[in-house]
Copies of this chain bind each other. A is one copy, B any other.
Amino acid sequence: MNKFINKLYQAQAQNKSLVCVGLDPNMGNINTLGLDLFSWLVNIVDAVSNHVCAFKPQIAHFSALSAENELKNIIAYIHEKYPDIPIILDAKRGDIGSTAQQYAIEAFEKYQADAVTVNPYLGQDSLQPFLDYADKGVIALCKTSNAGSNEFQNLTLENGKTLFEQVADNAANKWNANKNLLLVVGATYPQELEKIRSIVGDMPLLIPGIGAQGGDIEATLKAGLNENSKQSGLIISSSRGIIYAGKYQDDFADKAKEACLDLNQQINDFWSI
């Protein structure tokens, strides 16, 4: 099994959790706590680390703040202190091969992420430089959680498939020689999730859209879980609903932990290991 996917499933078993906490800092408000960005992140990470299967820093939120060093440092901190928890860099990169190679270096060498999200619009050759890192995970957008995802992803092709089904088909049957590919499917679309699960077999799926975006937990798990609970097939990601559960009050870390445990419990009504 691919090293990232193996690490993910080990963490799910160890922490009895499918929850991935997204790290999307908003410095303007963090400042009101009198904390620097890195300290705030450490507080969140320490609070939830026993109850997650992955962390997912979103790179735009760091880059907009010129906080590349803080991103690098929090990833290094997690690797050092919680070496069993994999880190997904949410970057949604996509470019032609020679440039994709630079983006792969950014994600896997500069930031030392275990996995990265990518955009499939440019086709397989744009994903190959990422896929060539056989120990890493590559998580391609398939059906995204936003309302506007219908505009192209749900268009029907002349072969009768929707575009998102074609992406899932190519991902499962053409691109995955290294068995290190995963897909992004929004919790806001459980019917599409069910279709994608039927196309990709037991491929793990990263599921954003729970919480602030309105995705339903029961529908998501019924549509997306694998039968083999040790290889659940799901990574349920929540960002704002956890890290800002306590807003910018002094007990923000406790509140984040509570929100994480609460989500974990809601999920574990439908999944156990």
Contact = CB atoms under 8 A, between A and B. Distances in A.
A47 interface: no
Interface string A66-106: 10100000000000000000000000111111011011011
A155 B152 contact: no
Contact of A163 (B58, B95, B163): B163
Contacts of A153: 121-123
A153 B170 CA distance: 14
Main secondary structure of the interface of A (DSSP, over half): helix
A17 B119 CA distance: 33
Contact of A64 (B64, B110, B125, B149): B110
Interface stretch (A1-9, A131-139, A140-148, A254-262): A140-148
Please classify how large the interface on chain A is, using the bins under 10, 10 to 19, 20 to 34, 35 or more.
35 or more
Given A64-B102, A152-B166, A166-B155, A126 B146 contact: yes
Sorted nearest first, the 7 A-B pairs with minimum C-beta distance are A123-B148, A125-B148, A123-B151, A60-B102, A64-B105, A64-B102, A96-B146
17 contacts: A60-B93, A60-B95, A60-B103, A66-B110, A92-B119, A94-B121, A119-B119, A119-B121, A121-B141, A121-B152, A121-B153, A122-B149, A123-B152, A126-B144, A155-B166, A157-B158, A158-B158
Given A63-B68, A123-B152, 15 more contacts: A24-B99, A61-B99, A61-B102, A64-B102, A92-B93, A121-B121, A121-B141, A121-B152, A121-B153, A122-B141, A122-B144, A123-B148, A124-B148, A125-B146, A126-B146
